[in-house]
Amino acid sequence: MAINLFVTGTDTGVGKTYISTGLLRALTQAGYTTLGVKPIASGAFRHNNILYNQDALDLNRASSIALDYSLTNHFVFEEPIAPHLAAKNIGISLSVDLIKSRLDKTIKIPCDIHLVEGIGGWSVPINDHETMADLVLYYKMHVILVVGMRLGCLNHALLTYQAIQQKNLPFIGWIANCFEQNDLNVDDVITSLKHWLKIPFIGKMPFGEKFEDVIDIDKFTSQSLYHRTKKPVVCHRDILGVNDPTD
């Protein structure tokens, strides 16, 4: 049975894509079929007059299944601003229903693990009454929280943790990501967070290291995913064709 993972973070720029691509590579190496998705992205470049977002391209490249770009990134906005504002500026009213109508097709693609990267933090609005969390709730995705290790992250982590718990979603665990070099005493902060966050601690990602070199993927899958997925026999990167302009 497929599992839908949702990777959220304590903020934008804390390492959601870094962790997501690492996790996709590690799961692929462990023999799972994987598919990384970025349903909404703001901040994009043009190639042959088509907009591409770098996160979506990176997720696609890290997956075992290569998809046409439009199935990896359903809404892409050129401006690197809040998605509902970027959408409004080009006359689109984002809603959970609208996103579902496109994301459904990707989620239905047979695969062991769909990994969906959020946009910004947990409660990013997609219009005046819905947030990304409502989309996660609709699909009952399994949430992974990336805590960006910097001053202020205790507050951000606790607020995000509480908001996710309120939705009663399956919570896989959290990762301490050292996404920048700073003076924080990371191990002390991790000890405090372990006390407050009553969910599994997946691991600490030191600055500049690769996910697959640091996180024990067999332990992760056996503790978090084992009973929800089955191992595939083969993985092909070209099952559904590739539309990556930079390949």
Ligand X SMILES: Nc1ncnc2c1ncn2[C@@H]1O[C@H](COP(=O)(O)OP(=O)(O)O)[C@@H](O)[C@H]1O
Q: Is 39 helix (H, G, I), strand (E, B) or coil?
A: coil
Q: Please identify, using beta-carbon distances, which residue of 103 and 147 lies nearer to ligand X.
A: 147
Among 14, 103, 116, 235, binds ligand X (CB under 6 A): 14
Known catalytic membership, residue 38: yes
Strand partners, 117: 7
Q: Which of 16, 38, 108, 167 is catalytic?
A: 38
Distance CA 189, CA 191 (A): 5
Q: Please identify, using beta-carbon distances, which residue of 99 and 118 lies nearer to ligand X.
A: 118
Among 4, 5, 6, 16, binds ligand X (CB under 6 A): 16
How near is the Cβ of 27 to Mg ion at its closest, in Å?
18
In the structure encoding, which two tokens stand for residue 68, read together? 């046409």
**Half-sphere exposure at residue 53, Cβ-oriented, CA atoms within 13 angstroms:** 25
In the list Mg ion, ligand X, none, the entry touching 13 (Cβ below 5 to 8 angstroms by class) is ligand X
Residue in the structure block whose two tokens are 């947030």:
131
How near is the Cβ of 148 to ligand X at its closest, in Å?
7
Residues that bind Mg ion (CB under 5 A): 16-17, 55
Q: Does 122 bind ligand X (CB under 6 A)?
A: no
Distance CA 22, CA 211 (A): 5
- Report the residue closest to Mg ion, judged by CB: 17
Listing DSSP states for 78-90 in one string gives SS-S-HHHHHHHT
For ligand X (CB under 6 A), the number of binding residues is: 14
Q: Please identify, using beta-carbon distances, which residue of 43 and 229 lies nearer to Mg ion.
A: 43
Q: Please identify, using beta-carbon distances, which residue of 72 and 221 lies nearer to Mg ion.
A: 72
Distance CA 108, CA 87 (A): 25
In the structure encoding, which two tokens stand for residue 111, read together? 């695969």
Binding mask 152-181 for ligand X (x = CB under 6 A): -------------------------xxx--
How near is the Cβ of 2 to ligand X at its closest, in Å?
23
Distance CA 195, CA 40 (A): 33
How near is the Cβ of 171 to Mg ion at its closest, in Å?
20
Nearest to 92 by CA among 111, 105, 79: 79
Distance CA 86, CA 225 (A): 36
Residues in the chain: 247
Q: Which of residues 175-214 bind ligand X (CB under 6 A)?
A: 177-179, 205, 207-208
Q: What is the crossing angle of helices 186-196 and 153-166, to 10°?
A: 30
Q: Please identify, using beta-carbon distances, which residue of 9 and 39 lies nearer to ligand X.
A: 9
Q: Does 110 bind ligand X (CB under 6 A)?
A: no
Give the residue numbers annotated as catalytic, written as ranges: 38
Residues that bind ligand X (CB under 6 A): 9, 12-18, 177-179, 205, 207-208
